[in-house]
Structure 1
Amino acid sequence: MFGNFLFHRIDNSQIIAFRIFFGLLMVAECWGAIATGWVKETFVEPTITFTFIGFEWTNFLLGTPMYYIFGFLGLIGLLICLGAFYRISTVIFALGWSLVYFMQKEHYNNHYYLVMLIAWFMVFIPANRYRAVDVWIWPQIRSTYTFYWTRLLFILQLLIVYTYAAVAKLYPGWMNGDFLMARYMGFGRWADKHIQWDPLTQFVQTREFAQIFSWLGFGFDLIIIPALLWKKTRVIAFFSALFFHLFNSVTLHIGIFPYFALALAVFCFPPETIRKIFFPKKSTFLPGSNEFGPRHKNQTVFTVIFFIYISWQIYLPLRHWQIPGDVLWTEEGHRLSWRMMLRTKSATTYFYVVDKSNGKRETVNLNDYLTHLQRSRITGKPDMMWQFAQYLRKEYAKKGKEIEVYTKARISINGGPYFEYTDEKADLANTKWNYFGHQEWLRQAPADYTKVAEKEKLPNRN
């Protein structure tokens, strides 16, 4: 019966409108990454990147080829927007975006992950059957309907994203404003400099301001999708989302995610509403029509796959409960879990190399191997520490030397005190990575690492 529900026919205006938004945003993201220097900083200047473990083989693409890859992906985004050669375009984009996503972790951001998931959604969703170049080339594919699963999939994914984002905020460092105080430092200085109204600029720099937006952020993530879906609160919820995402875009500088989230909101409105707004001349869909449309003979198989995917998305953010330790401290189970903008980490990390042949010990100069960004990221990320140790082992092996690699790291979370983070006696070069469990060379989290120093206002730098 649920399978019949998934394949109930609805107007396809939502997926057509989103195809256009998605394509334009991908053009902006890919070509913007080149124009702003992001590609240069991330893929051209480094000699290595910290890939997802298992994707080290992608390093052969580093350098100038990455400009062409991002330029090509932007062009493919334009084709998706136009609905041109849609099937091959979406497959190419999904594969290409997945490749560059798994190639680096220095700029890890949840919206890159969400884009990857949505890109694969687009491969299977028939969003090229109205207002598309494909319809002009092949008129027989024109259609005004789609199946309900093409809307429900987006709604459930959004519900998972926002719900887990809210749940992850339920820890002292978020709810008491520690994190946002640190993040709003730049905004506070900007307000001091450009807004000549002391009551406002002073308030922006207080803990109370950070706490207000901490609680608002938690509440927004928790209720925004249900509020958008409920007719009585939909309009208010949408304008709240508009303010929330634009404010975050200005103050937190999180790329296209705010605009991507707003584009996805089309699925929370009734299909007929989207048709009237974006395609007023489009004929109203009649459920009994015999227009061309996809035929799913294996409806039961599809329904099972649908449930498996949603179940997997529900499980991934919970997997850290199976791993000993606090995920905020260990980072184990942090990625792919919608733990968005939760904490800041400061760290001091040193690497030491010991030559096995003579026991000679030397401190590694990170400047010899890593970019400034990589040096700042590696200090508080256990998987990146381990990967760098493996890289050092291979580099020294090329010189005919067999080495051990040790690290001494101390970290601070949300401006709190520094604590010892790693076991200095653990040889990371000859330690295997535990893919699904806890890394024993990480020290246990202190009882209270969130206590911040007595500093209730941002520094005044006038």
Structure 2
Amino acid sequence: MFNQFLFKKIDNAQLVVFRLFYGLLVSAECYGAIATGWVRKTLIAPKFTFNFIGFEWLQPLPGAGMYIYFAIMGTLGLLIAFGYKYRFSAFTFAFMWAGVYLMQKTSYNNHYYLLMLLAFIMAFLPANRDFSLDAKQNPKVHSHSMYNWMRWIIILQLFIVYTYASIAKLYGDWLDYSIIEILMKSKNDYFLIGELLQQQWLHKIVAIFGILFDLLIVPALLWKPTRKVAFGFSIFFHLFNSIVFQIGIFPYLSLAFTVFFFTPQTIRNIFLKKKVVAIENTIDLPKNKNWLLGILAIYFVVQLILPLRHHTFKDDVLWTEEGHRMSWRMMLRSRTGIIHFKIKNKETGKGNHIKLDNYLTKKQKRKVACYPDFIWQFAQHLKKEYAEKGEDIQVFASSKVRVNGGKYHEFVDPTVDLANVPWKHFAHNEWIRPSQKE
């Protein structure tokens, strides 16, 4: 039964059309990052970047290198869309995007993580079998069918994302709408809708709708009687997010995912000139079936466990931030902080305060002020810089942080030498002060 479900041959129209949308959207994301100044502000202007810890060897290219890097990714997106040299284009883009994701986290976004996962998934799927230059140039590539699991791997990934996002919203500051009020304050100057976004009744609707949409959208799209209504809600929800929160291509990528929920013939009628394709309802078990099932099982077990890892850490993730990333905890908190760094020469005992303006951009300073891994990494940067001058130093930080508009509380133990303590990936870092329950 399980093999019959996963390895049944189905029409590949959904995957083929999604490939077109996916390629065009990632191309727009990469070229747009150059045009809007994102590349310059995030990867060129800073004197150094805050990588994911352990990936310090991933550094932005010098000079205009990152402009070229993103231009190449934008071009690869077009090659993916048109299905030309698809495997090469898709895998190259996936690795290049992963490089960008891991080399900087000052502009971290859960959607960037989702795109990294999706990029590798798409690279493995035969999305170039139809309506592509590859299939036109090489008839052996051409096919109207794919395995059923190729559709469901996308659906299951979406279900995990949306479900965890919904569950994460079931906490006090979301349920009393206070975090939504904070997030909307910065939108007060929006043309026409700025004043509307400050209304409490709208905050209540956003809070309730956000939970229910994330929880129900995938089941509602899967069930035929509610599919069209759910699609209508999807259009409204994602356009609202695009206008209000301005999060790039991702609302439109989310809408593109809906092709996997409509019947293949419906997709063909709309996008592929109403071409009728007859697919025999056959079961074709590949020779590497067990390997494939094992890899898929491991992947989804990781996807199910990773967002829960913060429960294994001491204290509240809203305060410590440990385990927040890669967990689909989206738009749940607002953090601000005040921080001062002091260095002390181990031999002479002489110390002085560090002026952050000499090292960091405005956005980096905001991150360093209230995120523990940024604080630790900056201490390591100072240690390395002074070591190159022949000085062995200690680094101490005095920091106060507030979460979701609450009171400021001491965030870092000011007596701990942050330059000489290891970063714990899978355990609580004890130099983070305990959260203060208000």
TM-score, scaled relative to structure 2: 0.97
Task: Indicate if the aligned counterparts of 2:8 and 2:282 stay in contact, CA closer than 8 A.
Answer: no
2:39 counterpart letter in structure 1: V
Equivalent residue for 1:381? 371
3-state SS of paired residue (2:395) = strand
Structure 2: distance between partners of 1:288 and 1:316: 36
Equivalent residue for 1:108? 108
Equivalent residue for 2:302? 312
Task: Indicate if the aligned counterparts of 1:45 and 1:63 stay in contact, CA closer than 8 A.
Answer: no
Q: 1:243 aligns with which of 236, 240, 256?
A: 236
Counterparts of residues 155-304 of structure 1 (less than 5 Å):
155-190=155-190, 194=192, 204-287=197-280, 296-304=286-294
3-state SS of paired residue (2:224) = coil
Could you say if the C-alpha distance between residues 155 and 149 of structure 1 is closer, same or farther in structure 2, counting changes exceeding 3 Å? Answer: same
Task: Indicate if the aligned counterparts of 2:23 and 2:78 stay in contact, CA closer than 8 A.
Answer: yes
2:257 counterpart letter in structure 1: L
Structure 2: distance between partners of 1:177 and 1:3: 46
Equivalent residue for 2:82? 82
1:180 counterpart letter in structure 2: I
Equivalent residue for 1:7? 7
Q: Which range moves more in the overlay, 181-190 or 242-251?
A: 181-190
Cα drift, residue 63 of structure 1: 4.0
Could you say if the C-alpha distance between residues 289 and 151 of structure 1 is closer, same or farther in structure 2, counting changes exceeding 3 Å? Answer: closer
RMSD between superposed Cα atoms in Å = 1.6
3-state SS of paired residue (2:296) = helix
Structure 1: distance between partners of 2:88 and 2:285: 19
Unaligned runs of 5+ in 2: none
Structure 2: distance between partners of 1:240 and 1:410: 41
Equivalent residue for 2:37? 37
2:159 counterpart letter in structure 1: L
1:300 counterpart letter in structure 2: N
1:321 counterpart letter in structure 2: H
Give the length in aligned residue pairs. Answer: 438
1:258 counterpart letter in structure 2: P
Equivalent residue for 1:27? 27
Task: Indicate if the aligned counterparts of 2:43 and 2:60 stay in contact, CA closer than 8 A.
Answer: no
1:276 counterpart letter in structure 2: N
3-state SS of paired residue (2:343) = strand
Could you say if the C-alpha distance between residues 151 and 439 of structure 1 is closer, same or farther in structure 2, counting changes exceeding 3 Å? Answer: same
3-state SS of paired residue (1:22) = helix
Q: Which range moves more in the overlay, 68-77 or 346-355?
A: 346-355
1:194-243 CA distance string (max 9 Å, x none): 47xxxxx7654233321221111111111111111111111111111110
Could you say if the C-alpha distance between residues 295 and 39 of structure 1 is closer, same or farther in structure 2, counting changes exceeding 3 Å? Answer: farther
Cα drift, residue 279 of structure 1: 1.5
Equivalent residue for 2:356? 366
2:382 counterpart letter in structure 1: L
Could you say if the C-alpha distance between residues 432 and 155 of structure 1 is closer, same or farther in structure 2, counting changes exceeding 3 Å? Answer: same
1:308 counterpart letter in structure 2: I
* Poorly superposed stretches of 4+, deviation over 6 Å: none
3-state SS of paired residue (2:352) = strand
Equivalent residue for 1:454? none
Unaligned runs of 5+ in 1: 196-200, 449-462
Cα drift, residue 398 of structure 1: 0.9
Structure 2: distance between partners of 1:31 and 1:25: 10
Structure 2: distance between partners of 1:286 and 1:97: 35
Equivalent residue for 1:409? 399
3-state SS of paired residue (2:30) = helix
Cα drift, residue 187 of structure 1: 2.8
Cα drift, residue 4 of structure 1: 3.3
Cα drift, residue 30 of structure 1: 0.3
3-state SS of paired residue (1:408) = strand
3-state SS of paired residue (1:346) = strand
Cα drift, residue 129 of structure 1: 0.9
Structure 1: distance between partners of 2:392 and 2:279: 72
Equivalent residue for 1:458? none
Structure 2: distance between partners of 1:210 and 1:303: 44
Could you say if the C-alpha distance between residues 107 and 302 of structure 1 is closer, same or farther in structure 2, counting changes exceeding 3 Å? Answer: same
Equivalent residue for 1:353? 343
Task: Indicate if the aligned counterparts of 2:265 and 2:276 stay in contact, CA closer than 8 A.
Answer: no
3-state SS of paired residue (1:190) = coil
Equivalent residue for 1:54? 54
Cα drift, residue 176 of structure 1: 1.2
Q: 1:425 aligns with which of 401, 408, 415?
A: 415
Task: Indicate if the aligned counterparts of 1:43 and 1:62 stay in contact, CA closer than 8 A.
Answer: no
Q: Which range moves more in the overlay, 387-396 or 370-379?
A: 370-379
Task: Indicate if the aligned counterparts of 1:47 and 1:62 stay in contact, CA closer than 8 A.
Answer: no
Cα drift, residue 307 of structure 1: 1.4
3-state SS of paired residue (2:221) = helix
